[in-house]
Amino acid sequence: MNHWKFVSDEKILKKIILILLLVFLSVFSICVCGNKATELGFFSHSVEKLDETKDTVMKFSGATLAVSVGITLLPDDYATPLAEELAELSEYVILILGMLFLEKMIVLEGVPMVFAYVIPCACLFYGLYVLTKKETFKSFGTKLVALSLAVVLVVPCGTALSDKLGSSYMGYVQDTISIAETGADQVDEISSTGNADASFFDKVSNVFQTAISGVKELFDYFSNLVKKCIHSVAILVVTSLVIPVITFVFLIWLINQLFQFNSFYSVTNKSAFAMLKKLSTSKEETE
C-alpha cells in the first residue's frame, strides 16, 4: 500500500510541477516576450532589411517613372510597346511592396501576438492534457507550437536567405536605378536647351552621351534601359517575393516533419474521403 501511495503522490507531484512550469512559460511569454521580442537583434535586423529593400523598390519605381518620361521623346509607334512593358513592371512592384508590408506586419504585429496569445493557449492545452491525458488537447497544443515557430522564424529566415543569395545581384539593381534616375533631368536638359543651331538628335547625343542620329538609335537606347529595368525587377521578385514564399513553405514542411503531422493529414484525408463516399452512396439510394 505504501508503495502505491508513493507512486501516486509522485505522479501528482509531477503533474503539479508540469502545470506550474506551463503557467510560468505562459506568464513569461505574455509579460516579457510579448513586449520585448521585436526589440531583439534577431527581429530588428529583419525589419531594417525590409525597410532597406522597400526603399530600393521605391527608388526603382521612381526610376521606371523617369524612364517613362524619357520615352516621351519617341514617336508613338516606338514609345507604345516600351510604355506597355513598363506598365507591366508596375504590377510586380506592387506585389513586392505588398509582400514587404506583410513581412513587416508579421514581425511587428504577428510575433507579439504569438507570444501574447498563441503560446499561452498552447500551454493551456498542454496543461489540460497533463490533467486529463486526452490526446486531443496534446494535438491542439502541438499544432499551436508549430504555428508559433512558423510565424516567429519565417521573416528572419527569409530576410537572411534573401540577403545572402541576393546581395551580389543588388548592385545591378542599384546601377539600373542610378542610370534611370538621371533620365528625367536629361529630358529636361534637352527640352530647355536654347541652342537653335543644334538639331534634336545632336542634343540627345550630347545629353545621353551616346551616338544617336535617328529615332531607331534613340529607341534602341531606351529599349536597352527598359531591359535593364526588367532584369532588375526579376531580381527584386526573386529576392523579395519568391524566396520568402519558399522559406515559408520549407518551414511548414520542416515543422510537419518534426511534429509528424503526416499521420494527421492522412487521417483527415481518409475521413474526408469516407464522408464523400457516404454522401454519394446516400444520394444514389435516394435516387
Residues 144 and 125: their CA atoms lie apart, in Å, by: 9
Q: How many Cα atoms sit within 13 Å of 1 on the Cβ side?
A: 0
pLDDT at 228: 87
User: How many Cβ atoms are within 10 Å of 161's Cβ, its own excluded?
Assistant: 16
pLDDT at 119: 92
pLDDT < 70 stretches in the chain: 1-9, 69-70, 72-78, 182-220, 258-287
Residues 267 and 263: their CA atoms lie apart, in Å, by: 6
- Enumerate residues 6+ apart whose C-beta is below 8 A from 230: 85, 89
- DSSP for 137-200 reads HHHHHHHHHHHHHHHHHHHHHHHHHHHHHHTTTHHHHHHHHHHHHTHHHHHHHHHH---SSS-H
Closest alpha carbon to 137 in 148, 124, 120: 124
Closest alpha carbon to 224 in 180, 191, 182, 169: 180
pLDDT at 42: 77
pLDDT at 247: 85
The share of the chain scoring above pLDDT 70, in percent, equals 69
b/e burial code for range 109-122 (CB count within 10 A of at least 16 → b): ebbbebbbebbbeb
Sign of the alpha-carbon dihedral angle for 128, 132, 138, 139: negative
Tell me if 151 sits within 8 A of 114, measured CB to CB: yes
Classify 114 in phi/psi space as left (phi over 0), alpha (psi -120 to 50) or beta.
alpha
